[in-house]
């Protein structure tokens, strides 16, 4: 009797029975994004309800804030393009270019985080803040800050919605770094966490310490239990998460910024 020759497929997940034509990692990410969309939906609803129910809803964003938010939007839109290119490169097994496009996506994402945290610092310095935030030294409340503080629902829903999104972008950058570099990404994250300790505690940038440290612990455990080089299906799943984060911002930008523009 002739020996049977079994050819094993090279793609990860090929041995899994497909569910709706997709492997388990992809299904898992879709389920996570479905649950996460409920969180963002609730925050968007809370902001929209507060805006409709409050007659003197603040319109604090002037030309500078709109330009800054527009640049942030451009960064995320550009990152979606580079993420698509990373998935395509991974699909044709071009690992160097897949990594290069992932790095480009991370750069755009990091630029978004920096611009957003910088904006938060400016808004808090002008008096638009919450009681749980540490006071900024030598900050003076402006007319915009007084207008926003008169309606506490505005600051509460604004910081909750944009803060949740900024956290997701931060996690996304860390996630893509793992896909691009694997274990080598952990020392870079450790240096970033150490660097944020030297930023004053009142600064928004200092708060990035906590998600970075949490990510180091989680990723360290995962890579220790199951070290691997991430392949095309993994990058595709990472792309789903990143496009979701970009899509959420396409709701936040017009609702929160464009519809709250100060007309003078």
123-148: pLDDT as tens digits: 888 888 888 888 888 777 777 777 77
Low-confidence residues in the chain, pLDDT < 70: 1-22, 262-264
- Strands (E) in 10-63, as ranges, are none
The Cα 14–Cα 221 span in angstroms is 25
The Cα 176–Cα 163 span in angstroms is 20
All structural domains of the chain with their residue ranges: 24-260
Give the sign of the dihedral formed by CA 23, CA 25, CA 26, CA 28: positive
pLDDT at 12: 46
pLDDT at 264: 58
Which helix or strand (DSSP H or E) is residue 241 part of? helix 232-252
Q: What is the pTM of this model?
A: 0.87
Q: Give residue 157's Cα distance to chain centre.
A: 18
pLDDT at 22: 60
Which tokens belong to 195? Answer: 């660097």
Please identify which residue in the block is written with the tokens 């009797």.
Answer: 1
| CATH fourth-level superfamily of 24-260 | Cytochrome c oxidase, subunit III, four-helix bundle (1.20.120.80)
Of 72, 96, 74, nearest in space to 86 by CA? 96
């Amino acid at each position: 009797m002739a020996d049977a020759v079994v050819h094993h497929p090279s793609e990860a997940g090929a041995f899994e029975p497909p569910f709706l034509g997709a492997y388990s990692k992809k299904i898992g990410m879709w389920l996570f994004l479905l649950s996460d969309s409920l969180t963002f939906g609730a925050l968007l609803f809370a902001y929209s309800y507060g805006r409709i129910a409050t007659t003197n809803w603040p319109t604090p964003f002037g030309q500078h804030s709109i330009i800054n938010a527009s640049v942030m939007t451009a960064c995320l839109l550009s990152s979606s393009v580079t993420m698509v290119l990373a998935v395509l490169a991974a699909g044709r097994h071009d690992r160097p270019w897949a990594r290069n496009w992932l790095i480009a996506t991370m750069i755009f994402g990091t630029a978004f985080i920096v611009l957003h945290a910088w904006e938060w610092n400016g808004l808090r310095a002008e008096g638009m803040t919450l009681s749980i935030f540490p006071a900024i030294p030598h900050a003076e409340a402006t007319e915009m800050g007084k207008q926003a503080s008169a309606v506490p629902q505005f600051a509460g829903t604004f910081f909750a919605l944009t803060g949740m999104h900024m956290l997701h972008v931060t996690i996304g950058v860390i996630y893509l770094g793992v896909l691009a570099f694997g274990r080598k990404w952990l020392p870079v994250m450790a240096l970033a966490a150490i660097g944020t300790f030297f930023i004053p505690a009142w600064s928004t940038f200092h708060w990035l310490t906590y998600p970075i440290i949490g990510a180091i612990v989680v990723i360290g455990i995962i890579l220790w239990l199951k070290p691997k080089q991430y392949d095309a299906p993994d990058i595709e799943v990472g792309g789903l998460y990143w496009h979701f984060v970009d899509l959420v911002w396409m709701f936040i930008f017009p609702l929160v910024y464009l519809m709250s523009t100060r007309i003078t």
